[in-house]
Structure formats: structure tokens, C-alpha cells
Amino acid sequence: MVSLEKHEHTVAIQRCRSYDPQEVYSAISRQFELLGGVDCFVKPRQRVLIKPNLIVPKPPEVPAQTHPEVIYAVARIVKEAGGFPVVGDSPAWSATAGCLKALGIDERLRKLDTEIVNLNRPVRMDIAGASVGISRVAMEADAIINLPKLKAHQQLGASFAFKNMYGCIGGLAGKEKAYWHFARGGEVESFCRMIIGIYQKLNPVLNIIDGIVAMEGQGPINGQPREVGYLVAGTDPVACERVCCDLVGFDAGDLPLLVTAGKMGIALPTDEPINSVGDVFVKPACPDFKPAVQTPLRFTFPHICKSIAKQCVVLAKHFLRSGRMPKT
């Protein structure tokens, strides 16, 4: 078996043309093998947090969230490796279970003995000079597999590997993420340092980015679906983000998170080639992928109030349908 250290900066690129369950499972299984084998990442009896990108209860046809087949395939692989899969996030406008139900995958995951959790119970951590509430669930996981959705982002240019781990903030009843947009959003570099700091603190063992159908335009929520047809996997978030840029024709030098990573000394030099394995594509694979029109990063106080009100409406609708409130 090849050691994980040899794959530190390697990115496994896998063509995947649809969300057919077997095609997705085979594609992700191949990525694990290209990176040294699943046992490099998951050990028997480990509690493995699978961190998808969940935002609001929407069906899988809306590409704002990690596709359910990607989530299920990774949970299945973790289970087959002898680990205990746990799927968790802190959606902006719902609970994890509500989003997974809308994606039509909640019961399938439960039949796989997958635990479904909200990333709450915050532990205060000093990150980028601030006391940030990081979910105890995430902190106590034996391993984390990060499952972002490839999206254009109207505040940060793009949402690839780094940004998805911001969802592990679990304080203020799920609204601490919005608070930091308000408190740090006036200084883009400061906000990016916080996001990168959260990623470093939690240190996912692997990123698998869902770019089969991405979101172009006004992501992370209001963009349009765009077929890209690739899964991107690797342990190095910067290398993964650079490959995603190559897929959709973005300039890595225009993305605040990658620029900040460079200033922090954790980015590969832009002239250093990435060690990519798997499928080859002509850059860019999607040359007319639409970027987002950029809007201010900082949330206003009325924006936060509106977010809280919307969360209350979503939870009330859930209660009226099911007769009980989702666990928080």
C-alpha cells in the first residue's frame, strides 16, 4: 500500500458524467485507490464525519448542495472500511435531517447505520485572533471527509474546499456563521484567514469536491446548474482548489481564499505544477462557466435578522408537516 505522505499534494481527478449511483460509487472508489487506498483515510471503528455542503431544504436538482449520491457513496465506502459514518452540517436555513430529507437520502443513510447530526455544541477556539464556536461533534470526530459542492460564489468568487469547513461553526443557535460575516466581513483577508484557520484546526483527511453538476452564476444559492462532469479529490485543499479553477476557467489569483492562503505560506507556488492522477482534461473543461457578480462580503444587521426570521419560518413549516421540531 502506498503511504499517504506520498500523496500529500496529489489530486485525483475522475470523470463522472451523471449521478447514477453505481457510476458515482465507482468513481469515488477509484479516487480513493489513486490516493493510496481507503485505509489511508479510514480505520476500522473510527467515527468519520462526512461534511457535505447543506444550506436549505431543496431537491437535488437545485445544485446548491452536495448531491445525495456523492454523500451516500462516501458513507457506504466508510462503512465498508469498518468505520462509523456520521453525516453532519449546520445548514443556514434548516437542520441537517431536513436538508437530507429534501435530498431524498435520509432513510437510505439510516439503513446504512449512518448517524445524522447537526454540527452544534460549540467549543470556543482561538482562530485568527477571534473566539470562534467550533462544533464539538466535528472536533471529536476521528476523521473528517470534506464534501464541498463546486460553486461560483458571489462574495468569495468560488466555493471549493476551504469554504465548506466554515459550516463547522456551531454557535449562536446556528447563526454564528452569519455573525462572523457581520463582524469580519468588512475585511476580506481577515475573514479568509478565519475560514482557513477553521480548516486547519479540523484538518480533514480528504476533500472530495462534487463538480459533476456545479453551480454557476450567483452562487452559493441562487445560481444555475452547469454540467462540468468531474469529481476532484485530494488531501491538499489548495491543490484541489487550483484544479477546480482549471476546470471552470477561473484565475486562482482572483480568489481571495487562495490569495490569503499564499500570504499565510500554505499555498503551492502558482508556477509549481500539481501532481494530478486519474483522468486528464483540456483546461478549462468548462470554458464559458459563468462567474458570480460580486457583492459585499459583510452581512448587515438587518440581513442577520432576516436570516433568523427565515430560519424560524423553515422550522415552523417542518413542525407543521411532521408534528415535531428537528433536533438542534
Q: Is residue 309 part of a domain?
A: no
Q: Is residue 233 part of a domain?
A: yes
Instruction: Quote the pLDDT of residue 317.
Output: 59
Instruction: Quote the pLDDT of residue 292.
Output: 97
Instruction: Quote the pLDDT of residue 303.
Output: 54
Please give the Cα distance from 129 to 127 (Å, whole number): 5
Task: Please report, for the domain that includes residue 111, its CATH number.
Answer: 3.40.50.11440
Instruction: Quote the pLDDT of residue 6.
Output: 44
Please give the Cα distance from 181 to 138 (Å, whole number): 21
- Count of structural domains, the chain: 1
Instruction: Quote the pLDDT of residue 3.
Output: 35
Give the helix ranges, DSSP H, for 35-142: 68-80, 96-102, 106-111, 136-140
| DSSP 8-state symbol, 37 | -
Q: Is residue 328 part of a domain?
A: no
Please give the Cα distance from 179 to 270 (Å, whole number): 33
Instruction: Quote the pLDDT of residue 112.
Output: 98
- The domain in which residue 229 lies consists of 4-293
Non-local (6+) Cβ contacts of 151 within 8 A are 53, 63, 64, 158, 159, 214, 215, 219, 220, 223
Instruction: Quote the pLDDT of residue 311.
Output: 56
227 three-state secondary structure:
strand
pLDDT by position in tens, the chain (length 328): 233 344 678 999 999 999 999 999 999 999 999 999 999 999 999 999 999 999 999 999 999 999 999 999 999 999 999 999 999 999 988 899 999 999 999 999 999 999 999 999 899 999 999 999 999 999 999 999 999 999 999 999 999 999 999 999 985 555 676 665 656 656 899 999 999 999 999 999 999 999 999 999 999 999 999 999 999 999 999 999 999 999 999 999 999 999 999 999 998 777 788 999 999 999 999 999 999 999 876 545 455 555 555 555 555 555 566 555 555 4
* Bridge partners (DSSP) listed for residue 233: 12, 208
Q: Is residue 303 part of a domain?
A: no
Q: Is residue 307 part of a domain?
A: no
Q: Is residue 263 part of a domain?
A: yes
Please give the Cα distance from 8 to 239 (Å, whole number): 10
Could you tell me whether strands 224-234 and 84-89 are parallel, antiparallel, or unpaired per DSSP bridges? unpaired
Q: Is residue 310 part of a domain?
A: no
The CB-side HSE value for 89 (13 A sphere, CA atoms) comes to: 30
Q: Is residue 305 part of a domain?
A: no
Instruction: Quote the pLDDT of residue 87.
Output: 99
Instruction: Quote the pLDDT of residue 186.
Output: 64
Beta carbons of 274 and 9 less than 8 angstroms apart: yes
